[in-house]
Amino acid sequence: MRSHEPREAMPLGFTHDVHAPRVVFGAGALDRIPEELDRLGASRVLLICTARRGDAVDRVAAALGARLAGIFDGARMHVPAEVADAALDEARRVDADLCIAVGGGSAIGVAKAVALGDGPPFIAVPTTYSGSEMTTIWGISANGLKATGRDPRVLPRTVLYEPALTLSLPPAVTAASGMNALAHCVEALYAHDGTPVSSLMAEEGIRALAANLPAAVRDGTDGEARSGALYGAWLAGGSLGAVAMGLHHRICHVLGGSFDLPHAETHAVMLPHVAAFNAPAARDAMRRAARALGSEDVAGALYDLREALGCPASLRELGMMQGQLNAAADRVMESPYPNPRQFDAEDVRALLRDAWSGRRPSSID
């Protein structure tokens, strides 16, 4: 170790208890579908996707061949309960023994809800960077509230990461989804239940995402950047699945679930602000994040990266009204997540005000 580098804090003890799916990563992963179906003994597969089916769905459907039993294309953001019910009904109607979710967190979320409702298990073919495929976390929304929980039954049996399927991801979705993945990594670095392995994954995830997202946004067909970003997204999903998330994820769940703000863009706006707030209480995490981002000012670098990727800068741009900020802060306080820095309602209100205005935060003292 070079003398000017601060020494890494050595763990005194930890519990590493992670449920993780089988992962097949890389060009040609889709060709493995028949083999993966054989492994699972599946003969009737329900494909789950959003209404905008796209090329990825066609390619997966073709790879399923005669084992494609049906397509449910009603997946929507935040898994409305009626969508989860409709998908489960469809799985039963076509007598599916397996589902295959093709798309981002919305499609994967529906497959998770089906598995949770005693429907068939599933394979995930992620086409965004949200990371849901790597976690036991499920979410279902009803009446303006999003219920979430962890359950090993919602973990995919296999995840097929095929970078070619992400080439069509529009720049704005690439950018926001990439910031969503970064948020998993940043919060994993200061998680109360973090381990040396989850921290390695999270730091490497930040490095891969920060290095590849700008090129993937500039030129969506840049295969190397797409592959690097998807690799980062896998690590981010693994980080999210391994440890408990903090204040940032709590705020984003409230803003998405109760105020209908777009999931990934909300992460992009909030992340620099929460990083700045938590920095004084998470020195080691910030040192790792700084190393991965190549900047001492983690919050500033995250803000600048968001800017460079062209993501919205403020909650105001996402449609939040200033008059809603206090109600959102109160809701955040109803069920606060573990967080390295203690906070009260006024702290959350101040964070939301900063994010609403879109000012540039800094995590340097």
| Nearest CB to ligand NAD, comparing residues 46 and 286 | 46
Least distance between ligand NAD and beta carbon 49 (Å)? 7
Least distance between ligand NAD and beta carbon 199 (Å)? 19
| Nearest CB to ligand NAD, comparing residues 147 and 364 | 147
Least distance between ligand NAD and beta carbon 174 (Å)? 9
| Nearest CB to ligand NAD, comparing residues 8 and 55 | 55
* Residue closest to ligand NAD, measured at CB: 105
3-state helix/strand/coil string of the chain: CCCCCCCCCCCCCCCCCCCCCEEEECCCHHHHHHHHHHHHCCCCEEEEEECCCHHHHHHHHHHHHHHEEEEEEEECCCCEHHHHHHHHHHHHHCCCCEEEEEECHHHHHHHHHHHHCCCCCEEEEECCCCCHHHCCEEEEEECCEEEEEECHHHCCCEEEECHHHHCCCCHHHHHHHHHHHHHHHHHHHCCCCCCHHHHHHHHHHHHHHHHHHHHHHHCCCCHHHHHHHHHHHHHHHHHHHHCCCCHHHHHHHHHHHHHCCCHHHHHHHHHHHHHHHHHHHCHHHHHHHHHHHCCCCHHHHHHHHHHHHCCCCCCCCCCCCHHHHHHHHHHHHHCCCCCCCCCCHHHHHHHHHHHHHCCCCCCCC
Residue ranges binding ligand NAD (CB under 6 A): 50, 52, 54, 56, 77-78, 103-107, 109, 127-128, 130-132, 135, 137, 139, 165-166, 168-169, 173, 177, 180, 240, 263-264
Least distance between ligand NAD and beta carbon 281 (Å)? 25
| Nearest CB to ligand NAD, comparing residues 163 and 300 | 163
Encoding tokens for residue 343? 């906070």
202 and 298 in contact (C-beta within 8 Å)? no
| Nearest CB to ligand NAD, comparing residues 195 and 239 | 239
Least distance between ligand NAD and beta carbon 343 (Å)? 22
| Nearest CB to ligand NAD, comparing residues 213 and 286 | 213
| Nearest CB to ligand NAD, comparing residues 228 and 300 | 228
Least distance between ligand NAD and beta carbon 59 (Å)? 11
Least distance between ligand NAD and beta carbon 355 (Å)? 18
| Nearest CB to ligand NAD, comparing residues 91 and 102 | 102
Least distance between ligand NAD and beta carbon 288 (Å)? 22
